[in-house]
Amino acid sequence: MTDLTFRYVAYTDVGLRRSKNEDSGYASRRLLAIADGMGGAAAGDLASASAMDVLRGVDRDLDGDALTALQVSVEQANIRLGELIKADPAVEGMGTTLEAMLWDGEKLAVAHLGDSRMYRLRDNSLAQISTDHTFVQSLVEEGKLTPAEARVHPHRSLLLRAMLGRDDNEADFSWIQPALGDRYLLCSDGLSDMVADQLIERAMQSDSIDLAATELVRLALEGGGHDNVTVVIAEFIDADADPDDTLSCADGQPQLVGAVAEERRPPTGRSTAGTDRHPPAADLDEEALRYAPRPPGRRPWLRFTAVVLVLAAIIAAAAFGGYRWTQTQYFVAESDGRVAIYQGVPFDVPGITLNRVDEVSQIEVETLPAYSRSQVEGGIEAQNRADAEAIIANLEQFVAPRPTPTPTESPTEKSA
* Long-range Cβ pairs for the range 306-312 (8 Å, 24+): 307/345, 307/347, 310/345, 311/349
Residue-wise pLDDT tens digits, 4-32 = 999 999 999 999 998 899 999 999 999 99
Q: What pLDDT was estimated at residue 399?
A: 82
Residues 224 and 372 reside in one and the same domain: no
Residues 108 and 177 reside in one and the same domain: yes
In a domain, 286, yes or no: no
If one counts the domains in the chain, the total is 2
3-state secondary structure of 115: coil
In a domain, 272, yes or no: no
Residue-wise pLDDT tens digits, 103-151 = 999 999 999 999 999 999 999 999 999 999 998 898 899 898 888 888 8
Residues 256 and 309 reside in one and the same domain: no
Please name which of 97, 95, 73, 94 lies closest in space to residue 192, comparing C-alpha atoms: 97
Provide the domain limits for residue 354.
Answer: 300-396
Last residue of a domain, one of 206, 240, 261: 261
Are 156 and 90 contacting, i.e. CB atoms less than 8 angstroms apart?
no
Which CATH number belongs to the domain containing residue 222 in this structure? 3.60.40.10
In a domain, 267, yes or no: no
In a domain, 337, yes or no: yes
Residue-wise pLDDT tens digits, 166-190 = 988 899 999 999 999 999 999 999 9
Residues 198 and 324 reside in one and the same domain: no
> In terms of pLDDT, which residue wins out, 307 or 122?
122
Residues 32 and 150 reside in one and the same domain: yes
Confidence of residue 262 (pLDDT cuts 50, 70, 90): confident
In a domain, 271, yes or no: no
pTM of the model: 0.69
Instruction: Look at phi and psi of residue 50 and say left if phi exceeds 0, alpha if psi is from -120 to 50, else beta.
Output: alpha
